[in-house]
Every structure is written in structure tokens, then in C-alpha cells.
Amino acid sequence: MLFSWWRRRRRAQLRAQPFPAAWLEVLETLPLYRRLDEADQAELRGHLQVFLAEKTFEGCGGQAIDDRVRVTIGAQACLLLLHRETDYFPDLGSILVYPSGYQAAHEEVGPGGVVTEGTSHRLGESWTRGAVVLAWDSVLGGAARLNDGENVTLHEFAHQLDQEDGEADGAPILATRSAYGPWAEVLGHDYEQLQAAVQRGRRSLIDAYGATNPAEFFAVATEVFFERPRRLKRKHPELYEQLRDFYRQDPAEQRVSKAR
């Protein structure tokens, strides 16, 4: 109880500090930030001050860590926290940043339980506890191209939200118990529709990678919700509504202002 009180007090103090001018310069290059109204921008800046104070950034493969790296990643992560009670991704300690795509070890369980070890090329990953891993060139591309529906930072931090209950299953912690029924119905239906489209070779607004499993569907749908919200609202109105209620944001009604 005492620790919880101390943590809330410390976070309030961090949010009350003057916001560094160098950080603001980076923020104003990000279309997702410029789309927010002034009140939401101020809330995001406060969240960012807490996030950058509590999380550690580590460069891998020769990647340097500076304010541009930290603010670009942190701002997009904190976008997912607006208007919501948050503990700032409590299981996350470190963000590991590579210059570009990297090789990661993985295991596959095949027929008869045979385990095959190998490596795969990745642009990011979210560990259930401890870390998010990102490729910096993909972070930059996702941050700059607002309307392509692809954003590796939003994707991996959506996984962090999904994993807060200990399971990566496409069902993050919702506001009420009664919310889980509609969530499962809507996301389950659209997930199955995406799987069917992929099997038939049909294109979809939601990337085919979302058909991998429900956790990936939620993460990919989050990318589209923030990057192509008007199209998502038009083509998948019930899915848009579920994500709007979860994130407590309505990006389809927002417009990007010009960079200063």
C-alpha cells in the first residue's frame, strides 16, 4: 500500500515537471502526435515523462540510443495509454533497439511433438515479461507513414497490453466483465473472416499476419485502428467500436495538423 502511494506520488511529480524542449521537437515530427487535440497532447507528454523515467532503452547491434529513439518509441507506446487507468506496462523493464531487422531464435513443435529449432528474421517482438524488441528503421517508417496501416511500435505495445493478464490471447484487460462477451464475439468473428480471406487469397484491410492467432489479430487491428481509422470504421464498424471503447479514443474523427 505504501509502495503504491509512493509510486503514484512520484509519477505525479514526473508529469508535473517542465517538458524538455528537445523532446517536444521530436514529438512534433510524429503525425500520430499532431493528430491529437491539445488536451490529449498534454496528457501524452505527461505519460511520456513517466515512461522514459521508468523504462530502460538498450541499443543492440551497434544502435545508438538518444532522445530521438526514446521519444519516438515512447510517444507511440504512450498513445495506447490515453484516457485509461494505467500502470505503464508493468511487466516491461527494457526496450531493446536494433538498427534494422534482426535474427531471433525460435522453436516449432511439429507432428508427434518433435521440436525444431531455428532462426527467423524479425522487426519486433514482445516478451511476456521483461522486454520489447524493435528494429529502429521499422519504427521510423511506421511513425512517418501514418496511412499504411503498419506500425511495429503500436503492434508490439498492443501485445504488452494483451499480456498484462499473463496470457497472449487477444483479450486484454477490459473495463468490466460484461465487456468480454461482445469483445470475443466481434473480434472472434472478424478474426475468422480474415482467416477465410487469407485462405482464399483475398486482400483485406487488416494485414494477413493477423490471421496467425487471436493475439496477432488484436495487435494488427490496433495498427489499423490508429493508422487507417476511417477505413476500419467503414469496413469493420463493430470492430472499430470495440477498439474505440477499449482505447477510449476515436481517431476516425481526428485530423493531422501540419508540422511546425
Residue 120 or residue 63, greater confidence: 63
What is the pLDDT, as a whole number, of residue 3? 59
Range of the domain at 78: 2-253
Residue 164 is given by DSSP the state: G
Mean pLDDT of 21-29: 98
Residue 138: Cβ within 10 Å count = 20
pLDDT in tens, 142-168: 999 888 899 999 999 999 999 999 999
Beta strands in 70-221 (DSSP E): 92-98, 102-109, 115-122, 124-126, 130-135
The angle formed by the CA atoms of residues 184, 124 and 41, to the nearest 5 degrees, is 75
- Tell me, yes or no, whether 258 lies in a domain: no
Q: What is the dihedral of CA 8, 10, 13, 18, to 10 degrees?
A: -120
Whether residue 2 has pLDDT greater than 60: no
pLDDT in tens, 27-44: 999 999 999 999 999 999
Dig out the grid coordinates for 6 from the structure. 509512493
Task: Say which range, 61-70, 120-129, 227-236, 242-251, has the weakest mean pLDDT.
Answer: 120-129
Residue 195: Cβ within 10 Å count = 16
Report the domain count for the chain: 1
In order of 83, 110, 121, 126, the CA distances from 100 in angstroms are 32, 30, 10, 16
Distance CA 132, CA 126 (A): 5
Mean pLDDT of 76-83: 98
pTM for the structure as a whole:
0.91
Coil, helix or strand for 125? strand
Q: Which residues contact 219 (CB under 8 A, 6 or more apart)?
A: 154, 155, 156, 158, 159, 162, 210
Whether residue 229 has pLDDT greater than 60: yes
* Whole-number average pLDDT of the chain: 92
Confidence of residue 6 (pLDDT cuts 50, 70, 90): confident
Give φ, ψ of 131 to 5 degrees: -150, 155
pLDDT in tens, 168-183: 999 999 999 999 999 9
Whether residue 105 has pLDDT greater than 70: no
Distance CA 95, CA 169 (A): 22
Side chain identity at residue 44, one-letter code = L
What is the pLDDT, as a whole number, of residue 114? 44
- Tell me, yes or no, whether 172 lies in a domain: yes
Sign of CA dihedral 196, 199, 204, 208: positive
- Tell me, yes or no, whether 188 lies in a domain: yes
What is the pLDDT, as a whole number, of residue 260? 61
Mean pLDDT of 231-253: 97
Whether residue 107 has pLDDT greater than 80: no
- Tell me, yes or no, whether 259 lies in a domain: no
What is the pLDDT, as a whole number, of residue 147? 86
Which domain CATH number covers 79? 3.40.390.10
In terms of DSSP bridges, do strands 92-98 and 130-135 run parallel, antiparallel, or are they unpaired?
parallel
Q: What is the dihedral of CA 243, 249, 255, 260, to 10 degrees?
A: -120
What is the pLDDT, as a whole number, of residue 115? 42
Residue 11 or residue 115, greater confidence: 11
